[in-house]
């Protein structure tokens, strides 16, 4: 709905990709439209673990020596990242634990 050809015969690659995504993954009942359940599944997929994704993000962004572990120094260096994270209850978990 957002793309208008405006006389251009060739579709951009992103439009082709979005069409393929729609047909293959989003329009599960193949009626040409996304109903409420299909939209919900697209926005909040049931097989996506938000906590795991956030934890991986925190480690990826903070693990300076890339050893797969976070030291106290690495956490303190990226303190703002942890305080703004849902995984730490927006910093509350940092206050409740002596090890932090």
SS3 66: coil
Tell whether 67 and 84 lie within a shared domain. Answer: yes
**Do the domain assignments include residue 81?**
yes
User: Residues of the chain with pLDDT > 90: what percent?
Assistant: 39
b/e code 38-60 from CB counts within 10 Å (16+ = b): beebeeeeeeeeeeeeeeeebee
- For residue range 71-98, list pLDDT tens digits in order: 999 988 998 888 878 666 666 666 666 5
Model pLDDT, residue 77: 92
Residue 26 corresponds to which tokens in the numbers above? 């989003």
Range of the domain at 63: 50-94
- For residue range 47-66, list pLDDT tens digits in order: 878 788 888 988 999 999 99
Tell whether 55 and 70 lie within a shared domain. Answer: yes
Residue 83 and residue 94 in contact, taking contact as beta carbons nearer than 8 Å: yes
- For residue range 36-51, list pLDDT tens digits in order: 999 998 888 888 787 8
Tell me the HSE value of 58 on the side-chain side, using a 13 A CA sphere: 24
Tell whether 61 and 85 lie within a shared domain. Answer: yes
What average pLDDT does the chain have?
A: 83
The reported pTM is: 0.46
Tell whether 88 and 57 lie within a shared domain. Answer: yes
Q: How many structural domains comprise the chain?
A: 2
**Do the domain assignments include residue 4?**
no
Tell whether 55 and 34 lie within a shared domain. Answer: no
């Amino acid at each position: 709905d957002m793309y208008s050809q405006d006389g251009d015969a060739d579709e951009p690659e992103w439009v082709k990709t979005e069409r393929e995504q729609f047909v293959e993954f989003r329009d599960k009942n193949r009626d040409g439209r996304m109903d409420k359940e299909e939209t919900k599944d697209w926005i909040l997929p049931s097989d996506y673990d938000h906590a795991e994704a956030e934890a991986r993000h925190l480690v990826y962004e903070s693990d300076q020596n890339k050893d797969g572990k976070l030291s106290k120094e690495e956490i303190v260096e990226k303190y703002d990242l942890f305080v703004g994270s849902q995984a730490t209850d927006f910093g509350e978990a940092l206050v409740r634990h002596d090890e932090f």
